[in-house]
Amino acid sequence: MAELTQTEVYSPRSLQVWRTLLNWLALFFQIFLQILRALGHHALLSSSSSSSPSFKPLPVSELPDNDSPEASTVEIATASGDFDSGEQSEKLTVVLDLDETLVCAYETSSLPAVVRNQATEAGLKWFELECISSDKESEGKPKVNYVTVFERPGLQEFLKDLGEFADLVLFTAGLEGYARPLVDKIDKENRFGSRLYRPSTISTEHREHVKDLSCLSKNPSRIVIVDNNPFSFLLQPLNGIPCIPFTAGQPHDTQLLDVLLPLLKHLSQQKDVRPLLHERFHMPEWFQKQGIPTSAWML
C-alpha cells in the first residue's frame, strides 16, 4: 500500500516535469528555425574564411564530360607576366559586387533579435537603413523598406588600401533605391569612381543580371570583378574572382584582408590579369560544366 501511495504521488509530478521540458524544447526549436530563415541558405553551406586561407577553383558540378576541344584550351591573345622596372602601367580597375561580397542585408522586420545580438556581440559592424521600394503604398506613395546591414569584417580598411593601387567601381544587381543609400553609408570617402545598379546589367540566354565589363573598360587585361555569384561575370570568365558569400553567421570572416587584398595587389602588378586568374580559378572550364558554351563569352 505504501508503494502504491508513492507511485500515485510521484506520477503527476513526473508528468509535469516532462511537459515543462517539452515546452522548452519547442521554444528552442522555433528560435532555431527563425535563425535558419534569417541567415538563409549560404550561411549553412559556405565555408568560413578561417578554414579557407586561400581561394580554390569553384566546385565542378557532376555533369557529362564535354568532349569538345574548346573545353581543354582557352587562348588568351596577349602578353603575360609582371611589369618591367620603370615600365608605365595602366591602373587596375577593380569592380566590386555589393550584397554578400561587401555586406549582407536583411529585412529588419524578419531578422530575429538573437541573430543581430550574436553578430554584434561578435564584433560585426551594422546599421539600419531606410530604402525606397519600387512598390507603391495604397495611397500611391513610394513604399519604404527598413533594412539591417552588416559590414563584412575589414571592409573600410579593404577599400582604403585597395584604392591606393586600383580604380574602384561598385556594380550591383540591386535596385538603386536600396543600393544607393547603402553605398553612401559604407563609402563616405567616395572611393568608388563609378556606381552601377541593376539597370546597367544585361540579360543573356543563360542568365539575367549579368555584368558586362566591356562597358567599363576597353582593355580586358587590366580589369577584374569580385562577386559571390560567378554567373554575374559569365561574359568575361577570365576576369572574375568568385568570392565566398558573406552572411551575419560569419562574424570572424577574413576574406577581404587576408585573401582578396593580397590577390588584387598581385594582380595589379601583372600586364594581363587573365592568365593568372585562369590558372587560379579555371572559370571557363567551370562555366562549360554548367552548360554555358564558349560562344557566350567575350574574352
Burial label, 201 (beta-carbon count in 10 A; 0-12, 13-18, 19+):
middle
Can you tell me the distance from the alpha carbon of 150 to that of 104, in angstroms, rounded to the nearest whole number? 5
Does 97 qualify as catalytic in the annotation?
yes
Q: What is the pLDDT of residues 184-209, one digit of tens each?
A: 999 999 999 999 999 999 999 999 99
User: Is residue 63 over pLDDT 50?
Assistant: no
Cell 574564411 found at: 49
Can you tell me the distance from the alpha carbon of 225 to that of 96, in angstroms, rounded to the nearest whole number? 6
Show the 3-state SS of 174-221: CCHHHHHHHHHHHCCCCCEEEEECHHHCECCCCCCCECCHHHCCCCHH
Can you tell me the distance from the alpha carbon of 169 to that of 227, in angstroms, rounded to the nearest whole number? 12
Q: What is the mean pLDDT of residues 270-297?
A: 92
Query: Which pLDDT does position 65 carry in this prediction?
Result: 40
- The grid cell for 44 is 549553412
CA dihedral (77, 54, 98, 278) in degrees, to 10, reads 10
Can you tell me the distance from the alpha carbon of 215 to that of 71, in angstroms, rounded to the nearest whole number? 27
Does 187 qualify as catalytic in the annotation?
no
Query: Which pLDDT does position 168 carry in this prediction?
Result: 98
Higher pLDDT, residue 45 or 99: 99
Q: What is the pLDDT of residues 143-164, one digit of tens each?
A: 888 999 999 999 999 999 999 9
Go through 5-44 and write b for each residue having 16 or more CB atoms within 10 A of its CB, e for each that does not. eeeeeeeeeeeeeeeeeeeeeeeeeeeeebbeebbbebbe
User: Is residue 68 over pLDDT 90?
Assistant: no
Distance, first Cα to last Cα, the chain: 91
Higher pLDDT, residue 169 or 298: 169
Q: What is the pLDDT of residues 87-128, one digit of tens each?
A: 557 899 999 999 999 999 999 999 998 989 999 999 999 999
Interhelix angle 261-268/273-281, rounded to 10 degrees, is 140
State the CB neighbour count (10 A cutoff) for residue 297: 17
pTM summary value: 0.74
Which of 84, 99, 184, 212 does the annotation list as catalytic? 99
Band (238; pLDDT cuts 50, 70, 90): very high
Go through 215-254 and write b for each residue having 16 or more CB atoms within 10 A of its CB, e for each that does not. ebbeebbbbbbbbbbbbbbbbbbbbbbbbbbbbbbbbebb
Strand, coil or helix: 294? helix
Cα distances (angstroms) measured from residue 260 to each of 131, 176, 256: 29, 26, 5
- The grid cell for 294 is 564558349
Band (132; pLDDT cuts 50, 70, 90): confident
Q: What is the mean pLDDT of residues 10-30?
A: 66
- The grid cell for 250 is 560569419
Which of 97, 167, 227, 272 does the annotation list as catalytic? 97
User: Is residue 18 over pLDDT 90?
Assistant: no
Query: Which pLDDT does position 151 carry in this prediction?
Result: 98
Q: In this structure, which CATH number among 3.40.50.1000, 3.30.70.1400, 3.40.50.970, 3.30.70.360 belongs to the domain 40-296?
A: 3.40.50.1000
**Per-domain residue ranges of the chain:** 40-296
Supply the DSSP symbol for 270. B
Query: Which pLDDT does position 40 carry in this prediction?
Result: 45
Q: Give the amino acid at 288.
A: Q
Higher pLDDT, residue 91 or 63: 91
